A and B are shown apart, each in its own frame.
Chain A
Amino acid sequence: MRKRTIFALLLVVAMTMSLLAGCESYNPTYDTLVIATTSFEGKFNPFYAESAYDWQVLNQIFVTPQMVNKDNVLEDYAGSIDYKEIKADDGHTQVEYTIKIKKGMKYTDGTPVTIDDVIYCYYVWADPSYTGPSSTFYTEDIVGLKEYYYDDPNYSSVIEGYAKAVEEKYSLDTISKEDFITYLIETKLEGWWNGNPSAEIASGYTWSDYIIDEGFEEQLKNIDASNPDQMLALLAEVEYTNYAEYYDPATWWGAKLAEDYIKGNLEDGIDVPTITGITKVDDYTCKVLYNSVNIYGDRTVNAYLVPRHYYGEFTKGNAEAVVSANMDKPMGSGPYIWQGYADNIVTCVANDNFFLGKPYIKTVKWQVYTDEDILAAFVAGDIDIANPTLNKDKLQAYIDAGLHYDLVDNNGYGYLGINSNNVEKLVRQGFMHLLNRKPSVEGYYGTMAQLIERPMTTTLAEYPDEAKEYYGYDPQKALAKFKEAGYEQKDGKLVKNGQQLVLNVYIGGEGIGDHPGYAMLTQAANDLKNMGGELIIHDVQFSVLQAAMNSGEADIFVLAWGTVTTCDQRSQYMTGGGQNRTNISNKELDNILEQIVVTMDLKERKALVAKALDIVMEEAVEMPLYQRKNGYVYNPVTVDISSLPETSTYWSYENVLYKIKLN
């Protein structure tokens, strides 16, 4: 008995000692952490912030019930999210998410955090006036959400009616001339019309020349050719008469009908005041009912805990005006408290009442630096952490300066897209054989990027690891494909029906070819020239590239996707998808993409993704280029390197800033 008592006492002593060891004093030399950032948009509001740099700050001020861990899997943080499948009255499967938040959390003004704040967040997202980045929330299949958004309990029949009306009244076969002309004028010929009657639409070729060539010379004489409205009206007439089949009035009319519908519904009073699928259980719990299985439903309902009393109550249809009024004083319950943004520096101080414990670093500042100045700022001791753009030479310079670094895969990928409306499939396939990707990408990035074989980031578990190269670089195969498409080499030119094969490509290389895909394009241009074709390379600023791509002017464009966290690619590849930049339309692909997002089993989902991406490759609308790496660089003089976490694409010092120590 006595032995046991002594043993117990020893245990208590040992435990006390270990606790004391854990409480070792933390008296750092430095008390401020300076993080270099690229730029701020200055939208420090969780409903509107879009730039990753604004979010760097906001993620320290606001918390969510769950957080993605280093393997891109959600785990509990300021609460939890559970789900269960339930059967609806008609027998179909619904999914009910239960969102809980921890008790006892407080905002930094001392107000308790409750589930009402989560629900508030959903209602802001669902408001018809809201324009922030989560404004696509209403498209989620949550029970009662669309009824709320459209403010009509019978919205589905009305929307169906619109779909029917669009099909019956506004499809290419059925649309009246008047409606078609209205559509062309309202959309400014789908963005083609630049509003300037005297502008040249090609070198030395004006709108008037175009109208005359299209056989409308007489009508042109009867109008004032310097009047923009009259010119647009005549051009609409030209397009309707000669090129109606190249336009899509149905989508625009569908959107317009829905738009007018919402407006009308809200103007006659609010008919649907709440979202029936979102219910409060108690002060710390709510439920969200999905009408169908959605593998990413938990990510969607993982809302930020935003203080309702601080951002303001609103009536339906007025959220934008109320919530957007506060853009520069965020307040939440996260590890840091906002102090201010001035002189291109954001300052935050530790929230001593943070629910996971008091942060070690008292003051954190984010200061704007251009990429070119980061190394010098490190050497001068002005900054402690940065994540600069890296290539092999830059990385070596950081190493030489004695800095500590971590490399992780970026959750995005670079690709070359081809507009399938402009370029026929066989030509697209031929062009793919002209792309010598490896030397181009490796020459630019070195070991900082790798080639990918399918258009998806390799950081997703669903990426088809077994995929092999689909189109190898082979000019002979390219020529064979062009010939198969009907092109023939005549007098040194590659022609079909008398027209030379001329393609244009838009790339954002800062005007000096500073892009990993640029070398590949110059080689392709050379190869195509040798065959008798032409590839015109436009090295332009991003907004110009974007405009050329959206107006259909760009045949080919080189771009990258960033911050991809799911394998849902419906928007990119489904017929009429919101980000379907290549205008790909393939029924089989549409079906597979729909299946992917309701397939819970990873293995099955991965197989479906592989199948879908094979179709995309066969369609030759996207050539995957590279998966690049991001780097975090730390100053080991100021930052306690041992306190840094093991980093991954989804997990960095930012996720545990409250645990990081300074020397």
Chain B
Amino acid sequence: MRQYIIKRVIISFIVLIGVSIMLYAITRMMPSDFVELSTANNLKITEEQKEHLRELYGLNTGIIEGYFLWLGKVIKGDLGVSLYYKRPVAELIKSYAPITFTVAFIALILELLVAIPLGIIAATNQYSKKDYLIVMFAFMGISLPIFFFAVILKRIFGPFGLNILPVAGMLNARATYTGFSFAKLMDYARQLIMPITCFVITSVGGLLRYTRTNMLEVLNSDYVRTARAKGLPERKVIGKHAFKNTLIPIVTLVGGMLPGLFSGAAITEGLFSIEGLGNMALTASYQADVPYLMGFNMFLAVMTLIGTLLSDILYAAVDPRIRYS
């Protein structure tokens, strides 16, 4: 196992180099220029000054030269300074990752809590009213555009409806908190109910359908038939034999969700005025902020590789048939 992990880590580094080349080339090929965008409203700017700024920002290099300059810095642990935010990229990721991660993590837990039981109920009651209802709910979630769903939620729970939830923001600015307190935690929780609901409803469908399909497959397998033939009660057949085996692909799927916990959802974060990594990445794309986009995307690439590795390790942990050497 250890050998396997070491081998995978080494391969991951090679993959990362390939990914970084692709990412850098794509980022630099964006049809926008940070200098033009940032000086768009500056009535005193001259062409000479724009060239000077490009030189200072390192944007006057070709893609290949620029890539090696960037890589040289990254090897020394420097992800560069964001052109737009004017702060070190690593510091930005460190500051804004917690909120993005918290929202996504809570949403993921809720998704699992909703998707797995509902998926199992749907599968065990295939083609019943329950099944159709659950599948319809899943499809509605998948099909709902998030910006539309957010507006509906705001209308129902905001001041023009039931008036029980705030429409946006991360904290109620009217309140003043000193340090971290239970009241502050409750305020955060209240503010995040709507964005997390949005995340859950619009993402749960995929996981639910995945669980349902896997469960159906497992329910048709021989050992389940044997368990039933043995005369085990249906509760035990589902709970002990089928459920455990359904979990195997789900565990691996969750491992692959790791980067998603940090990438955030640019649109949802923006809709609820949450300043997270996703919303910042969207702004950085609009502003052609090459260092931020590179740093952020590489961070996600690393997370993806870790996620995939974790999936594989978890696969071995939950499925005794699999052994790595």
By a beta-carbon cutoff of 8 Å, the part of chain A in contact with chain B is 32, 34, 39-43, 45, 48, 50, 129, 131, 133, 135-136, 139, 186, 188, 191, 194-196, 228-229, 251-252, 254-256, 258-259, 262, 320, 324, 327-328, 343-345, 363, 365, 367-370, 372-373, 376-377, 379-383, 541-544, 546-548, 550-551, 561-564, 566, 568-569, 571-572, 576-579
**B87 contacts the other chain (CB 8 A):** yes
Whether B86 and A139, one on each chain, are in contact in the complex, defined by CB atoms closer than 8 angstroms, is no
Q: A191, A262, A547, A563 — which one has the most chain B CB atoms within 10 A of its CB?
A: A547
**Would you call B33 an interface residue if the criterion is a C-beta within 8 Å of the partner chain's C-beta atoms?**
yes
Q: Is the C-beta of B49 less than 8 angstroms from some C-beta in chain A? A: yes
B126 to chain A, nearest CB (A): 41
Interface size on B, residues (CB 8 A): 62
Q: Report B-chain residues with C-beta under 8 Å of the C-beta of A256.
A: 51
Cβ–Cβ < 8 Å partners of A380 in chain B: 158-159, 163, 166-167
For residue B93, which residues in chain A have a CB less than 8 angstroms away from its CB? none
Q: Which of B66-106 contact A (CB under 8 A)?
A: 81, 84-87, 99
User: 4 tightest A-B contacts by CB?
Assistant: A255-B51, A578-B45, A343-B170, A136-B44
Smallest distance from the beta carbon of B280 to chain A beta carbons, Å?
A: 9
Cβ B56 vs Cβ A344 within 8 A:
no
Tell me whether B171 and A343 are in contact (CB under 8 A): yes
Whether A195 contacts B25 by the Cβ 8 Å rule is yes
Chain A residues, Cβ within 8 Å of B46: 136, 139, 571, 577-578
Closest CB-CB distance, B149 to chain A, in whole Å?
Answer: 14
How distant is the Cα of A525 from the Cα of B16 in the complex, in angstroms?
48
CA distance A343 to B269 in the complex (A): 12
**B183 smallest CB distance to A (angstroms):** 14
With A135-B49, A568-B43 already in contact, the answer to whether A369 and B158 are too (CB < 8 A) is no
Query: A368–B273 contact, CB under 8 A?
Result: yes
A579 touching B43 by the CB < 8 A rule?
Answer: yes
Task: Evaluate whether A543 and B286 lie within 8 angstroms (CB atoms) in the complex, with A376-B158, A578-B46 already known.
Answer: yes
Whether the pair A376, B159 counts as a contact (CB closer than 8 A) is yes
CB distance from A183 to the nearest CB of B (A): 12
Are A368 and B287 within 8 A (Cβ)? no
- For window 45-65 of B, CB contacts with A under 8 Å fall at 45-53, 55-57, 60, 62-64
Complex Cα gap A363–B41 (Å):
32
Of the A-B pairs whose beta carbons lie under 8 Å apart in the complex, a sample of 30, sorted by A's number, is A32-B174, A34-B173, A133-B42, A135-B53, A228-B63, A255-B52, A320-B56, A343-B169, A344-B273, A345-B171, A369-B168, A369-B169, A370-B270, A373-B168, A376-B158, A380-B167, A381-B174, A382-B173, A382-B174, A542-B286, A546-B37, A548-B31, A550-B33, A551-B31, A571-B44, A571-B45, A576-B47, A578-B45, A578-B46, A578-B50
Does B36 sit within 8 A of A, measured CB to CB?
yes
Give the distance in Å from the alpha carbon of A328 to the alpha carbon of B96 in the complex: 14
| Min C-beta distance of B167 to chain A, whole Å | 4
Given contacts A136-B49, A251-B48, A578-B46, 13 further A-B contacts (CB under 8 A): A43-B85, A131-B57, A229-B64, A255-B47, A258-B52, A343-B275, A380-B163, A543-B288, A546-B33, A547-B32, A550-B33, A561-B43, A578-B39
Q: In the complex, which of the residues B29, B154, B287 contacts A543, with contact meaning CB atoms closer than 8 Å?
A: B287
How far, in angstroms, from A236 to B164 measured CA to CA in the complex?
A: 64
Interface residue B143 (Cβ < 8 Å from any Cβ of A): no
In the assembled complex, which residues on chain A have CB atoms less than 8 Å from the CB atom of B37?
A: 543, 546
The interface residues of chain A lying within 8 Å CB-to-CB of B45 are 136, 571, 578-579
Once A139-B49, A324-B86 are accepted as A-B contacts, the answer to whether A547 and B43 lie under 8 Å apart by CB is no
Bound CA–CA A328/B286 (angstroms)? 23
Q: Which residues of B contact A42 (CB under 8 A)?
A: 85, 87
Interface residues as binary, B264-287 with A (CB distance below 8 Å gives 1, 0 otherwise): 000000110111000000010011
User: Which of A43, A50, A133, A191 contacts B33, CB < 8 Å?
Assistant: A191
Q: Does B168 lie within 8 Å of A43, measured CB to CB?
A: no
Q: Kindly list chain B residues whose C-beta atoms are within 8 Å of the C-beta of A129.
A: 56
A424 vs B160: C-alpha distance when bound (angstroms):
54
Q: For B33, what are the chain A residues with a Cβ–Cβ distance below 8 Å? A: 191, 546-547, 550
Asked, given contacts A48-B86, A544-B31, A547-B33, whether A136 binds B172 with beta carbons under 8 Å apart, the answer is no
A186: B residues at CB distance < 8 A: 60
Q: Cβ of B221: which chain A residues have Cβ within 8 Å of it?
A: none
Residues of B within 8 A of A (CB): 25, 28-29, 31-33, 36-53, 55-57, 60, 62-64, 81, 84-87, 99, 151, 154, 158-160, 163, 166-174, 176, 270-271, 273-275, 283, 286-288
Distance in Å from the Cβ of B75 to the closest Cβ of chain A? 21
Contacts of B29 in A (CB 8 A): 194-196
CB-based contact B43/A344 at 8 Å: no
Distance A382 CA – B169 CA, assembled complex (angstroms):
10
With CB as the reference atom, state the residue of chain A lying closest to B160.
Answer: A376
**Contacting residues, chain B, for A381 (C-beta < 8 A):** 174
Q: Which of A259, A381, A541 has the most CB of B within 10 A?
A: A259
Q: Which of B49, B50, B283 has the largest count of A CB atoms less than 10 A from its CB?
A: B49
Q: A580: shortest Cβ distance to chain B, in Å?
A: 9
**What CA separation (Å) do A381 and B46 show in the bound complex?**
46
Of all chain A residues, the one with the shortest Cβ separation from B276 is: A344
Residue of B nearest to A571 (CB): B43
CB distance from A230 to the nearest CB of B (A): 12
Chain A hits for B84, CB < 8 A: 41
Does the CB pair B159–A379 fall under 8 Å? yes
A379→B160 contact, CB < 8 A: yes
Closest residue on chain A to residue B151 by CB atoms: A372
Q: A42-B85, A43-B85, A370-B168 are in contact. Are A546 and B174 (CB under 8 A)?
A: no
Q: Which of B32, B38, B49 contacts A578 (CB 8 A)?
A: B49
Docked-complex contact B86 and A373, CB < 8 angstroms: no
**Within the assembled complex, what's the spacing in Å between the Cα atoms of A186 and B60?**
8
A373 to B36, CA, bound (A): 31
Residue pair B36, A550 in contact (C-beta under 8 Å)? yes
Pick from B48, B154, B158: contact of A258, CB below 8 A: B48
Check B270 against A131 for contact (C-beta < 8 Å). no
Choose among B36, B87, B159, B287 the residue that contacts A327 (Cβ–Cβ < 8 A). Answer: B87
Cα–Cα, bound, A343→B166 (Å):
15
- Specify which of B48, B151, B270, B274 lies most central, judged by the most chain A CB atoms within 10 Å of its CB: B48
Is B42 a contact partner of A136 (Cβ separation < 8 A)? yes
Using known A-B contacts A195-B29, A543-B288, A550-B33, determine if residue A368 contacts B87 with beta carbons closer than 8 Å.
Answer: no
- Can you name the residue of chain A whose Cβ is closest to the Cβ of B84? A41
- Min CB distance B288 to A, Å, is 7
When C-beta atoms are compared, the residue in chain B nearest to A576 turns out to be B47
Name the A residues within 8 Å of B39 (CB-CB).
578-579
Contact indicator A45/B86 (Cβ below 8 Å): yes
Shortest CB distance B87–A (Å)? 5
Contacts of A343 in B (CB 8 A): 99, 169-171, 275
Which has the most chain B C-beta neighbours within 10 Å: A42, A563, A564, A568?
A42
What residue of chain B has the Cβ atom nearest to residue A30's Cβ? B174
For the complex, give the distance between the alpha carbons of A344 and B280 in Å.
12
Distance, CA A188 to CA B31, complexed state (A): 12
Of all chain A residues, the one with the shortest Cβ separation from B99 is: A343
Q: Which residue of A lies closest to B270 (CB)?
A: A370
Could you say which residues of chain B place their CB within 8 Å of the CB of A369? Answer: 168-169, 273
- Chain B contacts of A48 at CB under 8 A? 86
Quick one: given A32-B176, A382-B174, A563-B41, are A259 and B169 in contact (CB under 8 Å)?
no
A344 CB contact (under 8 Å) in B85, B274, B288: B274
Instruction: Identify B42's interface contact among A262, A327, A328, A579, CB under 8 A.
Output: A579
- Chain A, Cβ-Cβ closest to B171: A343
What separation, in Å, do the CA atoms of A578 and B270 have in the docked complex? 33
Determine if B270 and A41 form an interchain contact, defined as CB atoms under 8 angstroms apart. no
Residue of A nearest to B158 (CB): A376
In the complex, residue of chain B having the shortest beta-carbon distance to the beta carbon of A544: B31
CA distance A129 to B56 in the complex (A): 7
**Min CB distance, A2 to chain B, in Å?**
59
Q: Is the CB of B85 within 8 A of A41?
A: yes
Q: How far, in whole Å, are A566 and B42 apart by their CA atoms in the complex?
A: 12
> Which chain A residues border B158 with CB–CB below 8 Å?
376, 380
